[in-house]
Chain A
């Protein structure tokens, strides 16, 4: 059943969010600490395990794949509801700080990608 997959997906997210909130309280920060990431780990474990077969195979799996495929449309909707006006009118310092942070971070991607692999990453000329 399609809904089994959707239910598994929902359960992963809700439990992940709950753990993220608990981590936030425990660390004394006003934020959800990695709730989505934890939920993703749950789903990865479930989708790689035989025990959850009925929840991930056949029609159940299509229930998860549907939401995975809806990802790009949802991201487009997300872009359309950003406060773009505030970003532009925040003043020059906001733009400079944002641009500088992104440029430096882009430049670090090829450097940190090498950690733990022992081999160099292809196309690593940096011109960010």
Chain B
């Protein structure tokens, strides 16, 4: 056992490649045999990943899902920010400039609309649950933007750590829901072309959610959605502790 652990830890990234590869193989097999391709294999794999993250987190009490298990530490590196961004940028290879130009304006508008709409919805939910402090309402609203905007806004405004934790949780719920919900809802919202993918990325904004959701819908749409989504968190961090907070303070 100790021997196994030494080898696994020393080669953690390779273990991750093997484990993720096996997960994808099983997922595509299940998608093919049991759903006859109705559910995309990668959607099943991502759901399995989230389930594993839940049990990993329960087992270890850590924040990094399955990556906190000693034997699967490499998942943390493979699924970390650096590799995620590297692979996302790679998907832009071969994208046509004309497609980007066509959806440019709609993309920019959707980023702004996405941040503001998510914030308002989150703030309204906070109000409905009886929060009255503008700092707390703003922080929860910012959490509904993304799980990065929440804590950035909360700490800038001096919110308590419980409220910040709540805003992170709201952002995580959003990100997970986008991962799972996108392939299911895609047909109904016309998410089948580069233009709508850019709008989708701008409206949702959670890079992880958009990345996984589009991958499970149609990998060809990934670069378009990811392109706008990556501007969303920055804009959220800009607006959250400033204009959006002032607006909330004026109303409450």
The interface of chain A, by Cβ under 8 A from chain B, is 9-10, 12-13, 16-17, 20, 23-24, 27, 29-37, 39-41, 43-45, 47-48, 56, 61, 64-65, 67-68, 70-91, 93-102, 104-110, 112-117, 121-128
CA distance A67 to B168 in the complex (A): 30
CA distance A24 to B1 in the complex (A): 47
| Residue in A29, A88, A121 whose beta carbon sits within 8 Å of that of B190 in the complex | A121
CA distance A57 to B183 in the complex (A): 33
Known contacts A72-B24, A90-B165, A115-B105: A109-B190 contact under CB 8 Å: yes
CA distance A27 to B72 in the complex (A): 39
CB of B246 closer than 8 Å to a CB of A = no
Name A's interface SS. helix
CB of B169 closer than 8 Å to a CB of A = yes
CA distance A47 to B17 in the complex (A): 28
Assess the A71–B204 pair: CB atoms within 8 A: no
CB of B37 closer than 8 Å to a CB of A = no
When distances are taken between beta carbons in the complex, the residues of chain B under 8 Å from A127 are 188
CA distance A112 to B202 in the complex (A): 10
Known contacts A34-B230, A81-B80: A106-B181 contact under CB 8 Å: yes
When distances are taken between beta carbons in the complex, the residues of chain A under 8 Å from B21 are 73
Among residues of B, the one whose C-beta sits closest to the C-beta of A8 is B93
CA distance A75 to B23 in the complex (A): 12
Among residues of A, the one whose C-beta sits closest to the C-beta of B176 is A87
Known contacts A29-B237, A91-B166: A74-B110 contact under CB 8 Å: no
CB of B87 closer than 8 Å to a CB of A = yes
| Residue in A67, A85, A112 whose beta carbon sits within 8 Å of that of B199 in the complex | A112
Assess the A70–B172 pair: CB atoms within 8 A: no
Among residues of B, the one whose C-beta sits closest to the C-beta of A30 is B152
Identify the interface centre among B84, B90, B195, B234: most chain A CB within 10 Å of its CB: B90
When distances are taken between beta carbons in the complex, the residues of chain B under 8 Å from A30 are 152, 156, 237
Q: Looking at the assembled complex, report how far the CB atom of A27 sits from the nearest CB atom of chain B, in whole angstroms.
A: 6
| Residue in A37, A121, A128 whose beta carbon sits within 8 Å of that of B230 in the complex | A37
| Residue in B65, B90, B114, B237 whose beta carbon sits within 8 Å of that of A31 in the complex | B237
Assess the A73–B118 pair: CB atoms within 8 A: no
CA distance A34 to B236 in the complex (A): 11
From residue 204 to 223 of chain B, which have CB atoms closer than 8 A to chain A?
204, 207-208, 211-212, 215, 219, 222-223
Name B's interface SS. helix
When distances are taken between beta carbons in the complex, the residues of chain A under 8 Å from B175 are 82
Assess the A97–B211 pair: CB atoms within 8 A: no
Assess the A124–B189 pair: CB atoms within 8 A: yes
Assess the B192–A48 pair: CB atoms within 8 A: no
| Residue in B92, B122, B156, B200 whose beta carbon sits within 8 Å of that of A40 in the complex | B92
When distances are taken between beta carbons in the complex, the residues of chain A under 8 Å from B208 are 78-79, 82
CA distance A18 to B172 in the complex (A): 27
Identify the interface centre among A70, A74, A107: most chain B CB within 10 Å of its CB: A74
Interface flags for B81-92 (1: CB within 8 Å of A; 0: not) read 001111111111
CA distance A45 to B94 in the complex (A): 9
CB of B9 closer than 8 Å to a CB of A = no
Assess the A96–B64 pair: CB atoms within 8 A: no
Assess the A97–B63 pair: CB atoms within 8 A: no
When distances are taken between beta carbons in the complex, the residues of chain A under 8 Å from B237 are 24, 29-31, 33
| Residue in A31, A67, A89, A116 whose beta carbon sits within 8 Å of that of B234 in the complex | A31
Assess the A81–B53 pair: CB atoms within 8 A: yes
CB of B95 closer than 8 Å to a CB of A = yes
